[in-house]
Copies of this chain bind each other. A is one copy, B any other.
Amino acid sequence: MSLLTHISSPEALRKLPLAQLPLLCTELRAFVLEHTTTKEGHIKSSLGVTELSVALHYAYRTPLDILVWDVGHQAYIHKILTGRKDLFATNRQFGGLSGFTSRAESPYDPFGAGHSSTALSALTGFAEAARLSNTTRQHIAVVGDGAFTGGMHFEAMNYAGERQLDVTLLINNNRTSIDENVGALQKLQSYKTLCQAFGFQFMGEADGHDPAALIRQFKLLKKEKGPRALLIHTQKGKGYPTPTILKEKKKETAETFQEIAGSKLMALAKQYEKLMVISPAMLSGAGLHAFRQRFPERCFDVGIAEQQAVTMAAALAADGFRPVCHLYSTFAQRAYDQIIHDVALQKLPVTFLLDRAGLVGEDGATHHGVFDLSFLNPIPNLTISAPADGHSLNHLLEEALQHTTGPFAIRYPKGESPALAPEESFTKGKGRWVKRGAKKLVISIGAVRPEVLAVIKQGTFAHYDWIYLKPFNKALALEIIHDFAHIITLEEGSSAGGLGQAFAHLLASEGIHKKLSTLSLPDVFVPHGDQEALAKSVGFDATSFKKLLEEL
């Protein structure tokens, strides 16, 4: 690390002779590999843009020039070069650096991210700002080829082209996003044509692993005006050890929600020949890889394009098919209008699998799936369910396929299904007693953290697994709370419009006097970190929960 030791800012970097940059890149790759062990996808994305990151900070006057990384997961080298080298070992840890770019972290991150396809849109804002304030600076967005399927990226291209804004679009063509890329744009000619159609000057291609060549190209780009684009070819994971490090042995012993959903959909696909699966570039994470292998013609990956996923599913349903649309909870936010306007309003039987619900851990604030119950609950015609274990997930998937009068949402977290062993079996439209008890009643919806479950099990508390947020079964609610003076609702989501408020509403409107405590997530953007640290920070750890129960 002879060079890197002395490079802790872009200013220092710019003093290096060009000839030393390849060595610096070697050291940077080694540094990343030394200090990060998890999230292989992000490490590989970052390694792939090592030379690009170095060249950008070498050629541009960051942070005066505005550099926005789309998604931001590929910014590890950028972070190391911009004053965050010493903190880098804390990457993605609670209290440490974010795995994405973040305005709160550094002036070198003028706009944070996490979700895809926002960079160019943000850049148009900075470019308009510069025009208004007569500021002379460069505006650069690095956008992966995978993000070229997201609608808002095209909205931004159209706008930048129309306004002839002074923006530089660097297309990082590494030919893979999370899943294999989808879209007609993978070909060079298409990028060129597309850029031109939107009024961008297309400046050709560049080798993303030749820092000197990149710097030369950037100098040319800087001389141009108006919207311009350069296609940069990189190899994702360049420098990542091959044969790849053995993946960490799976910690899970039980089946995961994802595995259960995947297997069940395979079984249901045999039963329902009209069953289709649709995913916006997340088939692997969904546990649907095997489904795609087995039923390739019934499995649609639309790319990072949630709006397209949902409205296409709506049309499939309108034509008599039974689409199952898998969305990460956080990305469902991208298709909110489509869920309302194209699916629910038309009462179309689309099954929504809302995966990665609740706190997701190291991905942090941009990725927690915590708003879903709140934003789905006002939508008419929609059934909203959340299984606490794989057993219910199986039943809910069956029910969703039987349900033909409107959409059906099933929300579950990442990871293994807890061993719930309820006293009652699953009954359609109802919840179930996990444990009867005499003292206080805990009503939970969806998966409950094992440490919280353990607390409930230890005491004399009763525990009811509510399952269906919507339609809210008022009669059932009145029945189960009848014998209890103290009720605790539990949901890993926002308070507004969730289970706790539904019960509060019931009590107040029925004039029932009982003690109610609603445990939900606090009204803040929860940061990143391991699940244990996050649970503690929001009161979902054993100690906090125990205290809450005892204080009631």
- Interface set of A (CB-CB < 8 Å, partner B): 103, 110-115, 118, 121-126, 128-130, 132, 148-156, 158-159, 161-162, 182-185, 190, 193-194, 196-199, 276, 297-298, 300, 302-303, 305, 307-308, 311-316, 318-321, 323, 331, 333-334, 336-338, 340-342, 344-346, 365-366, 370-371, 374-375, 377-381, 493-498, 500-505, 507-509, 511, 513-518, 523-525
Contact = CB atoms under 8 A, between A and B. Distances in A.
21 contacts: A110-B318, A111-B342, A115-B341, A121-B342, A126-B318, A132-B276, A152-B307, A152-B311, A154-B155, A156-B311, A158-B305, A158-B308, A159-B305, A190-B199, A370-B378, A371-B378, A374-B496, A378-B497, A496-B502, A504-B508, A505-B505
Contacts of A321: 129, 132
B518 A509 contact: yes
Contacts of A305: 152, 155, 158-159
The 7 closest A-B pairs by CB, nearest first: A151-B151, A125-B315, A497-B497, A378-B494, A154-B154, A161-B184, A333-B337
A513 B516 contact: no
Give the interface centre of A365, A494, A525 by most chain B CB atoms within 10 Å: A525
A507 B153 CA distance: 45
Nearest to A227: B184
Given A111-B315, A125-B311, A193-B197, 12 more contacts: A115-B337, A124-B308, A125-B323, A129-B315, A155-B307, A197-B197, A333-B336, A374-B374, A497-B501, A501-B501, A507-B508, A508-B514
Nearest to A344: B525
A381 B302 contact: no
A526 to B, nearest CB: 9
Given A345-B365, A496-B378, A497-B377, A311 B508 contact: no
Copies of this chain, tallied across the complex: 2
Contacts of A518: 505, 508-509
A369 to B, nearest CB: 12
Nearest to A332: B337
Contacts of A153: 151
Contacts of A110: 318-319
A182 B198 contact: no
Contact of A159 (B308, B314, B346): B308
A514 to B, nearest CB: 8
Contacts of A124: 308, 312, 315
A508 B516 contact: yes
A251 B8 CA distance: 67
A125 B495 contact: no
Contacts of A150: 151, 155
A458 B325 CA distance: 52
A274 to B, nearest CB: 9
Contacts of A371: 340, 378-379
B508 A341 contact: no
Contact of A151 (B154, B190, B524): B154
Contacts of A183: 158-159, 161-162
A162 B186 CA distance: 9
Nearest to A103: B346
A313 B124 CA distance: 9
Contact of A496 (B185, B194, B334, B377): B377
A315 B118 CA distance: 10
Contacts of A316: 125-126, 128-129
A500 B505 contact: yes
Given A155-B305, A307-B121, A316-B128, A197 B199 contact: no
B345 A112 contact: yes
Nearest to A321: B129
A300 B163 CA distance: 10
Contacts of A193: 193, 196-197
A474 B118 CA distance: 36
A154 B159 CA distance: 13
Contacts of A113: 341
A416 to B, nearest CB: 27
Nearest to A374: B378
B313 A125 contact: yes
A428 B110 CA distance: 32
B378 A495 contact: yes
Contacts of A377: 374, 494, 496-497
Contacts of A366: 341, 345
Contact of A184 (B158, B334, B344, B498): B158
A115 B335 CA distance: 13
